[in-house]
Amino acid sequence: MRFKKILLSLGLVLSLCFTLTTVQAADSSIQDVIDETYVQPDYVLGYSLSSDQRDQTLSLLGYDSAADTQVKTLTTSSYAKIMNVADDSSLQLYSSVKIQKLGAKEILSVRIVTPENITKVTEDMYRNAAVTLGIEHAEITVASPIAVTGESALAGIYYSLEENGAEVSDESKELAQEELNALSDINAENQGKDGYDADKLNVALTDIKTAVADSDNLTKEDVRQIVEETLDNYGLSSSMTNDQITLIVNFAFNLSQSKIINSSSFKATLNSLKDSIVNNAGSTFDNINLNFDASSVIESSKGFFANIWQQIVAFFQQFIG
């Protein structure tokens, strides 16, 4: 009888461990604020722009002086505060953004209107990071009058959201920034390499994030298996170094430990992003399994161990009666 109680208690503990992560809800205030507050588009300009460059950038972003009034400037001190880093007055901030709301059924959109001047970040990299941040549907426009990496534009998005009342957690910002840095670094290092394709990497990342959201209690090795099998499915394994793969593994593992993945809209937004990239990529994804699900491999292995546990329980139960 005592052994039955021990087994029951152990079962309750395991059940709590497996379900704990599912009861936490991701902060939904980000998209709510966009829907409710962005009656007009919001512009965030880099602090380093000269007066002429500000006018040029606003024009590039589609600013309408007769209707638009929401123009902000991302200063170095604001950047330091929202990125949780030391204030550095020598920091150069040129990339600027416009954010406007879209209808609930419209797809998250990012448009770089000066692609020749945003040298390190692509539109789909911004979109992937925006999904991780918690944005479901909005139109984001990025511009710079001079050549820059474009990485500070994400900080402009954080700043806009927070100034309009959204509660952007440090966890969300750090994950989105980690993702953008990893993707942009990998893309820059692999330009022109046989077998590498930026569209495939962005789609692979949507699958990796979905698999992480579909799985519970992942270990670092579980996440590595998800990442490696997904990259292999998209034919990217041979073109990426171990260090680059580890960057993705570290990000995906950190994501698996976050509250972000528990949002009911997270996977739906990822699916929309994936479909959009694939549809715009022409023949890039021909002969690739777009229904690949790396989480099923992890679940199969967990099912195997669960079966062993049931056999152990059954073995001891025969002695209890």
Residue type for 161, please?
Answer: L
CB 44 within 8 A of CB 161: no
Does 9 map to a domain?
A: no
Does 262 map to a domain?
A: yes
Please list the ranges in the chain whose pLDDT falls under 50: 1-27, 303-306, 309
**Per-residue model confidence (pLDDT) at position 221:** 95
Does 181 map to a domain?
A: yes
Phi-psi map region of 195: left, alpha, beta (phi>0 left; psi -120 to 50 alpha) = left
CA pair distance 282, 288, nearest whole angstrom: 13
The sheet that has 42-46: what strands, in order across it?
71-74, 42-46, 96-101, 138-143, 109-112
Identify the DSSP state of 89.
T
pLDDT in tens, 27-84: 458 999 999 999 999 999 999 999 999 999 999 999 999 999 999 999 999 999 888 8
CB 152 within 8 A of CB 93: yes
**Per-residue model confidence (pLDDT) at position 25:** 37
CA pair distance 154, 72, nearest whole angstrom: 14
**Joined tokens for residue 48:** 């380093």
Does 7 map to a domain?
A: no
* Strands 138-143 and 42-46, bridge-based pairing: unpaired
**Per-residue model confidence (pLDDT) at position 126:** 97
CB 39 within 8 A of CB 68: no
Q: Which residue has the tokens 């990071």?
A: 129
**Per-residue model confidence (pLDDT) at position 300:** 58
**Joined tokens for residue 193:** 């390499």
**Per-residue model confidence (pLDDT) at position 282:** 93
**Per-residue model confidence (pLDDT) at position 294:** 83
CA pair distance 56, 146, nearest whole angstrom: 11
Identify the DSSP state of 300.
H
CA pair distance 175, 258, nearest whole angstrom: 9
Instruction: Name which of 138, 161, 92 is nearest 273 in CA terms.
Output: 138
| Residue 99, helix vs strand vs coil | strand
Does 256 map to a domain?
A: yes
| Residue 96, helix vs strand vs coil | strand
CA pair distance 147, 115, nearest whole angstrom: 9
Q: Which residue range forms the structural domain that includes residue 155? A: 29-301
pLDDT in tens, 252-286: 999 999 999 988 889 999 999 999 999 999 999 99
Does 20 map to a domain?
A: no
Does 124 map to a domain?
A: yes
CA triple 121-125-126, angle to 5 deg: 85
Q: Who contacts 201 (Cβ-Cβ below 8 Å, separation ≥6)?
A: 183, 186, 187, 234, 236
CB 33 within 8 A of CB 137: no
Q: Who contacts 196 (Cβ-Cβ below 8 Å, separation ≥6)?
A: 190, 236, 239, 240
Q: Who contacts 184 (Cβ-Cβ below 8 Å, separation ≥6)?
A: 120, 121, 122, 125, 149, 150, 151
CA pair distance 293, 229, nearest whole angstrom: 9
Does 175 map to a domain?
A: yes
**Per-residue model confidence (pLDDT) at position 318:** 58
**Per-residue model confidence (pLDDT) at position 4:** 45
CA pair distance 13, 57, nearest whole angstrom: 57
CA pair distance 133, 171, nearest whole angstrom: 9
79 CB-contact burial (10 Å; exposed 0-12 / middle 13-18 / buried 19+): buried
The count of structural domains within the chain is 1
**Per-residue model confidence (pLDDT) at position 161:** 96
CA triple 253-258-260, angle to 5 deg: 115
